Structure 1
């Protein structure tokens, strides 16, 4: 399953994290909701919705 076009923001968020040398441990698409989940660093959790909006968890 591929992310939606609006979820392309994932690439920008991942790039921002790696530019600060923050390790990215998980990038996962929830098949039920089509949301992208990113787990990075010690406690950074980001959820990206299918409409392109995102939030820190």
Structure 2
């Protein structure tokens, strides 16, 4: 079983807080065990990927 890195944890918390500030519901927060990336699905179509370094990008 994989666990998120400390940098991923902090980035995930900050992003989730910001998303809910904009009143976007968060539907999924998932750690991809193959890649080690965290995936967040919020609102109707906002997908965010957080890599192990804590850097994030919008999912295309």
* Structure 1 residue 12, shift from structure 2 partner: 0.2
Aligned length: 57
The CA RMSD measured in Å over matched residues stands at 0.8
Q: TM-score, normalised by structure 2?
A: 0.89
Q: Tell me the equivalent position of 1:33.
A: 35
Q: TM-score, normalised by structure 1?
A: 0.93
- The answer for unaligned runs of 5 or more in structure 1 is none
Q: Runs ≥4 in structure 1, deviation > 6 angstroms?
A: none
